[in-house]
Amino acid sequence: DLLLNGREEIRGWFTRRQGLERRVSRHICTNIAVELLSPTEAQSLCYLVNERHDRAEGDLTMPAPGDVPKFVGECHDGFRLTDEGWRFTRRKVELAFVRPSRPRAK
């Protein structure tokens, strides 16, 4: 499980992730449903599909080869309205399908 608290932890994680040039991935979110719980709180559900391919180091060829998705699941999010606008209060990802592991590209 991955737990990131606050903007700095989230920013740091994504900055490190950006350094993996060999990885090509896309997160496809669909069937997004948002429910307003009050004037300042909301929750949502969406389906998530992750397409991912790890290339050999130094291989930046695009498009990357396609395959079955890395995973398919749901995102359950919570939001709160602040002085800066709507902000996430939580995210829970529940996976329904996961592609089996395979050896890494060299």
User: Which are the contacts of 51, defined by CB distance < 8 A and separation ≥ 6?
Assistant: 25, 26, 28, 66, 67, 69, 70
Q: How many angstroms separate the CA atoms of 104 and 53, rounded?
A: 10
- Bridge partner list, 71: 50, 98
Does 66 map to a domain?
yes
> How does pLDDT run across 79-106, given as a tens digit for each residue?
999 999 999 999 999 999 999 987 665 5
What is the domain-level CATH number for residue 61? 3.10.450.50
pLDDT at 103: 62
105 located within any domain: no
Tell me the residue range of the domain where 57 lies.
6-98
pLDDT tens column, 48-71? 999 999 888 888 889 999 889 999
Predicted TM-score (pTM) of the model is 0.78
Alpha-carbon gap, residue 91 to 3, rounded angstroms: 9
The pLDDT tens digits of the residues spanning 11-56 come to 998 898 888 888 899 999 999 999 999 999 999 999 999 999 988 8
